[in-house]
Amino acid sequence: MPRCGAIRTRHLPEGETALKIGTPKEVHEGENRVAMTPDSALQLQKLGYDCAIEAGAGAAAGFSDAAYEAAGVEVIKTAAALYKAVDIVAKVRPPSETEAKRLTEGQLLISFFWPAQNEAQMKLLAEKGASVIAMDMVPRISRAQKMDALSSMANIAGYRAVIEAGNNFGRFFTGQITAAGKVPPAKVLIIGAGVAGLAAIGTSTSLGAITYAFDVRPEVAEQVESMGAQFVYLDFKEEQQDGAATGGYASVSSPEFREAQLAKFRELAPEMDIVITTALIPNREAPELWTEDMVKAMKRGSVIVDLAAEKGGNCKLTVMDEKIVTENGVTIIGYTDFPSRMAAQSSTLYATNIRHMMTDLTPEKDGKVNHNMEDDVIRGATVAHAGAVTFPPPPPKVAAIAAAKPKEKPKELTAEQKRAAEMAAFKAQTKQQVTLLVVGAALLLGVGLVAPASFMQHFIVFVLAVFVGFQVIWNVSHSLHTPLMAVTNAISSIIILGALMQIGSGSFLVILLAALSVFMAGINIFGGFLVTRRMLAMFQKS
């Protein structure tokens, strides 16, 4: 059986052995994901690690043992044997009681862990001397985006939520006009415009539905509208509506804001065909946003997909891990395994997150872990290390951006001071123009002394065309064309003016060429304005 070390591109010094990273089969019922794929294993080997996987661990995600072997991964028959053979364990779900007992001193576990809800196991592993990196604790800072497994899984959950809704919805998403009649487009409301919400918005609009989205952070409205959805605004004045909590999550709403929010949802409920709720703040119960009376107000055949079902649900009637149909015919989906329902894709993304984490843990690419607790990302994700519990982590040491000092208001000038300033500006402008004219005249005179008369006639036409054309076009407001388009239009105007001055020539060929120049340059200018207008319209708020 081939070993991953056989295809490694870098050789370890003689006598040194690389650490081995292994992935067991997930024991949680219905979990189809796997933390290592054949592709990620190849990347891990480039970091100097040996790789192992439990037999059948990737089968549910579509990765066969043969595919792992072809990638140089050692396939180990049992989980017990794998835990004994590896130094690093990478998995998806938090370890079960049996798996936790198998971890030994010096081993490193990388997985989702949820330390705030798993304190007993966290203390147990710390006492055993094992280190634990929780992928759900990766700080939400720019440098750590490549390791943000929560966002990876939320992206898949948002996409899959729309697919599940469509599977339970009895009509098309997009509107159609057929010989049999007109089919109206579905109306979809997505509550929460975080990672999952934006993924759901993108999927819904791409399927042709009329999509509405709501979030307590109005600053995300532009993102929502840029994806083709309509942002639902509240007529409510409060600081809460403008704030976002640390970590990129929406903050908790005040009672007054919540009432205004629920009133808006009651207004929308009878119109919506599909509602997808994504509102959830880590380590908190899900806020109730879609009440029982809203469900009763919805049309028969409508669908609710509750992505917060694991924490109680945003909908009052949601049943965790089940799909129910209410008395008035509304389907409510409370599945908590959306990423697992797309195991191949979610495994690929999660394995990539793990691989990026290992890259940060192996700066020398020597197959050895450097658990640098001074690194913000590594420290933030580590919940147990060196025999101690390290949760909760300190805030990331991100340099604060100094608040810009407000600009001082310019002092009001008196009428005399304004006139003096205008006169000074006029004099400076006049002086500049006179200087340019003198220099230009001197250059023309110099050229005229040595150039033939026929050349000078054409040269003066060219100079005038350049000056007049450039001045005319460059002074057009950029609200009508972009700066780049202004340059191209200025060049076209130079061509037009030059051609107009030649169009009275006695030569038929010159007249023809001049007319063609005016025609083509005119198309370029007017076409440029039309294209720019359409471009600017894309960025105008409705």
Catalytic residues: 140, 145, 148, 151, 249
Long-range contact set of residues 352-356: C-beta below 8 Å, sequence gap at least 24: 352/40, 352/146, 352/152, 353/135, 353/138, 353/146, 353/147, 353/148, 353/149, 353/152, 354/35, 354/36, 354/40, 354/90, 354/110, 354/135, 354/149, 355/40, 355/43, 355/44, 356/146, 356/147
515 phi/psi in degrees, rounded to 5 = -65, -45
Q: CA–CA separation, 371 vs 237, rounded Å?
A: 47
Give the tokens for residue 273: 């065909």
Q: CA–CA separation, 24 vs 386, rounded Å?
A: 24
Q: CA–CA separation, 63 vs 44, rounded Å?
A: 17
Taking CA atoms, 284 is separated from 120, 190, 257, 281, 315, in Å, by 19, 20, 19, 6, 15
The answer to whether residues 187 and 274 touch, using CB atoms and an 8 Å cutoff, is: yes
The answer to whether residues 75 and 65 touch, using CB atoms and an 8 Å cutoff, is: yes
Cβ neighbours around 43 below 10 Å, total: 18
Q: CA–CA separation, 272 vs 495, rounded Å?
A: 57
Q: CA–CA separation, 393 vs 334, rounded Å?
A: 32
Cβ neighbours of residue 370 closer than 8 Å, sequence gap 6 or more: 361, 362, 363, 364
Tracing tokens 């990478």 back to the chain, one arrives at 90
Cα 91 to the center of its chain, rounded Å: 25
The gap between the terminal CA atoms of the chain, to the nearest Å, is 63
Amino acid identity of 36?
A: M
Please, which residues bridge with residue 323 across strands? 333
Cβ neighbours of residue 399 closer than 8 Å, sequence gap 6 or more: none
Burial (CB count within 10 angstroms: exposed 0-12, middle 13-18, buried 19+), residue 7: middle
Strand locations in 282-348, DSSP E?
Answer: 303-306, 323-325, 331-333
Q: CA–CA separation, 304 vs 290, rounded Å?
A: 9
Taking CA atoms, 114 is separated from 148, 150, 381, 409, 505, in Å, by 14, 11, 11, 51, 84
The answer to whether residues 314 and 286 touch, using CB atoms and an 8 Å cutoff, is: yes
Closest by alpha carbon to 211, among 235, 231, 193?
231
